[in-house]
Chain A
Amino acid sequence: MNAVSSMPDKKDSRLRWRCRRGMLELDLMLNNFIDREYDELDNEQKSLLDQLLDYPDQLLFDLFLGFMKSSDKDIDRLVSYIRKSVAT
């Protein structure tokens, strides 16, 4: 896995720094997603991702590993998208 790239896109850097978490699972999941999919996201998805990154680590862990499902449909859809991108 490659950690943060050194491209000087500041919005991207800010987002990437927020993907640095306390658990390896989250680092892998989020950095992989940003590397592969970030450019494909529309503005609404980007702001949803920003919202998701405010969640505490333990909750993200439970969502990403499928132990829990968000009742917010939009978040749930984004989580599924992130989960799908890591396993491929």
Chain B
Amino acid sequence: MSRSLGRVAAGDTGREQRSPGEEDFRSYYGRRVLKEPVWEWLVPAYLFAGGLSAACAELAAGADLTRRPRLRKAARLGALGGLATSMYFLIADLGRPERFHHMLRVAKPSSPMSVGTWILVAYGPGVGVAAAAELLPARLRRRWPGKLIGALARPAGLASAAVAPGVASYTAVLLSHTAVPAWNEARDRLPFVFTGSAAAAGGGFGMVCTPVDEAEPARKLAAVGAVTELVTSRQLDERLGVVSEAYRTGKAHRLRQWSEYLTAGGALGSLLAGRSRAAAVTSGLALLAGSALQRFGIFEAGVQSTKDPKYVVVPQRRRVDRGEQA
């Protein structure tokens, strides 16, 4: 049968004609082929909080080694706060939260969620000990448990800093290792968007919470992260074929556009943030918000790409018609 019958022949007679210029494809009454992700806003919030925590852990370890006590304190607490909220989001999004620990009954290399669970298991304790050392009241520091925590803080912080890059990047694989077209097709670029976004958030957090004379590394990290995020995020809009449309349209587009404004503004602001605390706080907040909106935008693009059969059928049909291997 000729393809020119288009969607009409697909049993959806007279429905939802696509505007001219749009791909012609066939479907079952225009219905979705894939299931929408069952995840809600908690998952993009997790992505943001986890990235923030990872970048803070890096800043904390560096600040510790280069004797910047106020940056160290802020970053260690940021790392713990980010981790704790991300764990809450992660567990709350389960259909059976009380069965969270079932994640710990296997270690499965083929499941990025399993790999991520074990990355977090390796990451968490160091973050906890380092933050505990900052929170310990002075009178407890002189007793032996306090002394022990004080002595362990540096190695613990360094250990978590060693795992932190994994925390910041594995979430990209978590999303890409799915059949969701917008996430799967972005698999080569998403890790860079995510680590960039994490660095921008962590740097921004450091700028907000630390006096300017100690915050130079945070400003630099924020700038590097923001530029990485801005450049690689654009590629999602342009280089993913049909699927790019999911990033360029609708709510995903609006979220990511605001993310771009805030991240670019924050990056520019970070250049001035060495002189003014007000500028540092403003640009730091902008970077944090930009990073969060980026995660929500990417999440939304994925959801949209499962709702419209176009994103599944058009690329696959093209591949079949060209006789290409999957």
Chain A partners chain B = no
